[in-house]
Amino acid sequence: MNIDNLDTRIQTLGEAKIPSPLKGKVKGGYTNRFVKESDRIIGEVDYESILYHIENKIEISSFEMAGPREKIYFDPNKLKCAIATCGGLCPGLNDIIRSVVLELYHCYGVRNIYGIKYGLQGFIPEYGHDVLELTPNAVSHILDTGGTILGSSRGTQDINEIVDCLERMNIGILFMVGGDGTLMAANKIADEINSRNLKISVIVIPKTIDNDIYLVSKTFGFDTAVDISTIAIKGAHNEAAGYPYGIGLIKLMGRHAGFLAATAALAQQDANFVLIPEIDIDLYGDSGFFAALEKRLLERKHAVIVVAEGAGQKFFADQKTEYDPSGNIKLKDIGVFLKSEINKWFAEKNIAVNLKYIDPSYIIRSLPANANDSVFCGFLGRDAVHAGMAGKTKLMISHWNNNYIHIPMEASAGKRKNVDTHGKLWQSVLEATGQGVLTSN
């Protein structure tokens, strides 16, 4: 990932002059541990890359470290905050909400915290959605509940109307939780706020099970998704092994990136084939996928296939392109397609296969977070609050090089992280499955 010449400066609303209420506040979790503006985290992690930068006198990009500041911008007694969750569901959304609310309330003393119902729709009067008042009591028991207590929605909304609503509500900090579409919307909201010379901070906490947000090492919910996916793989393997020429086919999330499919396959090493968007495959030909699958079945009598939802979209090139309310291309169902084509292939060869198809996607994304993700969400939520209280804006909280940092929205919006097909993750998948190259060329 080349991050040279990246502008990593973080925008602020003004000078932070108010002493932080965290100072000396042991009960709040801090004594005197504050982050300085000069504390930076380098973007590069590879030794050879760092050495190259030094030898060629190229500046190494670095990011502002997240965490509490000694001086804050907003007066907690007068501040009003809002939280919105947008896009698809994901394990950990309620953990994020709870973390933000408890940090604002108990550590900074903010008493006016509002949950915006159903994502960006909640800002638009014509939808008539209520605003939820968020207190410690309101969020105390939500960790064991999947989904989001605020609800969500897809689709674009009028940016001017959103900012009008923020003005009417006298909001000082807006926390938005979502993926790439949410990040781009937040960027536009922050731009409109700037054009009106308003003092409203916009902080994004990145969310996607696909784990493909640019400049983010890992997104919350991914660990939970891997956990549940391994159960699906285990079940598919048991089904496949229980019948002659049994095939277990599992479709996992991953529109443009195969992180979940690859990681789950390594966590539960029963998969014989892993198909991801980053790797091209052919179905037919001596070196195609079907020939490899047939060879596996004849030798071992069973096979397990893990496919990411965005894999093999070239097989639908003759079909009409459709879009969802957010403007994303609606993917064709590669799982159902493969199920049909595999059965057809073996029927023509008079080989009676027993194929079981599993799609756990909506189960995975609506479940509560596991322990690791819950802890991770706590860190992200608290650092989002620290950034907003310090008057920082137009940023995303990221986990990078084992640290929590601030990423300018423009640096990540509209970009995507993909599986490095020459990197350790994919190489490990190839070693674990032995699938080789699945193209006829």
Q: List active site positions.
A: 210
Q: For residue 175, which of 88, 109, 70, 103 has the smallest C-alpha distance?
A: 103
Number of residues in the chain: 441
Q: For residue 328, which of 88, 102, 70, 28 has the smallest C-alpha distance?
A: 88
Distance CA 217, CA 425 (A): 13
Q: Who contacts 209 (Cβ-Cβ below 8 Å, separation ≥6)?
A: 88, 90, 91, 219, 221, 222, 225, 253, 260, 364, 365
User: 49: burial class by Cβ within 10 Å (0-12, 13-18, 19+)?
Assistant: middle
Distance CA 194, CA 173 (A): 14
User: 366: burial class by Cβ within 10 Å (0-12, 13-18, 19+)?
Assistant: middle
Looking at residue 287, what DSSP letter applies? T
Contact 218, 210 (CB under 8 A): no
* Tokens 């973390």, located at residue: 99
Strands 403-408 and 62-65: antiparallel
Alpha-carbon separation of residue 129 from 83, 125, 126, 436 (angstroms): 14, 8, 8, 52
Contact 149, 116 (CB under 8 A): no
Distance CA 165, CA 170 (A): 8
For 230-258, b where at least 16 C-beta lie within 10 A, e where not — what string?
A: bebbebbbebbeebebbbbbbbbbbbbbb
> What DSSP string runs through 181-240?
HHHHHHHHHHHHHHHTT---EEEEEEB-TT--BTT-S--BTHHHHHHHHHHHHHHHHHHH
Q: Who contacts 375 (Cβ-Cβ below 8 Å, separation ≥6)?
A: none
User: 319: burial class by Cβ within 10 Å (0-12, 13-18, 19+)?
Assistant: exposed
